[in-house]
Structure 1
Amino acid sequence: MSIPAPRPPQVPKPPGTHFMVEPVRVRSVWLKVGYVVVWFLVARILLAQLISPDIPLVVYAIVGSVLDLGAIVLGARIFRSRHEDPLPPRPWWQLTGRPRAGFVIGGLISVGSLATYVSDLVNPDRVDVVLVIASLGINLAIAFAYVRSSVLLQRRTRA
């Protein structure tokens, strides 16, 4: 009969943290791309289900904006760059791990939003101009948040 090896002492968790689990962090570029593709497909499928003569276009636009904003906030919280520590939470204003990423994403959102705005104004009879302007405003605010996050990250790395 052998004597079992002694167990290492267990350090008790602080009060109120016994239900906490490790945070979910996505570091792989391919998983990030997959997240964006799945979000886009799921959001479009859900919105396609909402299109019917009984539901006003305003509801469609609001649901789409809420889905998009939720996906962006969730992505900003769980995505991490290769150079970031995965455990501590980011500051509330930080949307990307590196400044360049925020500038690129903000620029892409701006260009895409402006292109959609211009294409919608070319055919004003088939779109609601108020919704187009509201959507442009929301998208440009998101793009501004990404650019602002990158500017703050640059200041923090220089200090």
Structure 2
Amino acid sequence: MQYRITSPQGKVTYVVVGYVVALTAAVVGALAASPAVGVVVYSVVVVLLVWCGTRLFRGEGEDPNGTRPMWRMTARPTAGFVLAILLILQAASTAINAASAQRLAPLYVVAVVLSLGLAAAYLNSSLRLRRTT
């Protein structure tokens, strides 16, 4: 049997701990090398956490022992649509902040691209789920 996270409490714990891990990794990378390294480390950790979460989380009605198709990121389309909207808003907010950050503006581009890429993945998942359900 594969390990799955099915309870809301388990999912919240995963997200909170993941956020702390990503921020800690970013700070360590920034202090050890440079802000650019911190952003790259943060981005890699976030992508890994999202990927692992989509493989580990299971929603109500999903087979906890089965595998999800690689494109499927959520149990239901609504969850993916909500996450995509939040990621698009995060990208917009980051882009607005980048306008006033002359020296670090290129780092903001990485964050915007990451947010939009994840938003696209969640949107694709939700559109495909809506067609199949």
TM above 0.5: yes
Indicate the residue corresponding to 1:148 in structure 2. 124
Q: Is structure 2 residue 49 aligned with structure 1 residue 49?
A: no
Q: Which runs of 5+ in 2 are unaligned?
A: none
How many residues get paired?
133
SS where residue 51 of structure 1 aligns? helix
Shift of 1:124: 2.0
* CA–CA distance in structure 1, aligned partners of residues 89 and 68 of structure 2: 27
| Bigger Rg over Cα | 1
1:40 aligns with one of 10, 13, 19: 19
* CA–CA distance in structure 2, aligned partners of residues 66 and 51 of structure 1: 14
**Counterpart residue identity of residue 156, structure 1:** T
Q: Which runs of 5+ in 1 are unaligned?
A: 1-21
* CA–CA distance in structure 2, aligned partners of residues 133 and 120 of structure 1: 8
**Counterpart residue identity of residue 101, structure 2:** P
**Counterpart residue identity of residue 124, structure 2:** R
Cα deviation digits, residues 35-63 of structure 1 (max 9, x gap) = 100001121122222232x6132211111
* CA–CA distance in structure 1, aligned partners of residues 38 and 27 of structure 2: 9
Percent identity over the alignment? 32
Q: Is structure 2 residue 42 aligned with structure 1 residue 58?
A: no
Shift of 1:133: 1.4
**Counterpart residue identity of residue 56, structure 1:** S
Q: Is the 8 A contact 2:4 2:57 kept in 1?
A: yes
User: After TM superposition, where is structure 1 displaced by more than 6 Å over at least 4 residues in a row?
Assistant: none
* CA–CA distance in structure 1, aligned partners of residues 38 and 21 of structure 2: 14
**Counterpart residue identity of residue 20, structure 2:** L
* CA–CA distance in structure 1, aligned partners of residues 33 and 25 of structure 2: 13
Q: Which has the higher helix share?
A: 2
TM-score, with length taken from structure 1 = 0.78
TM-score, with length taken from structure 2 = 0.93
Shift of 1:120: 2.8
Indicate the residue corresponding to 1:68 in structure 2. 46
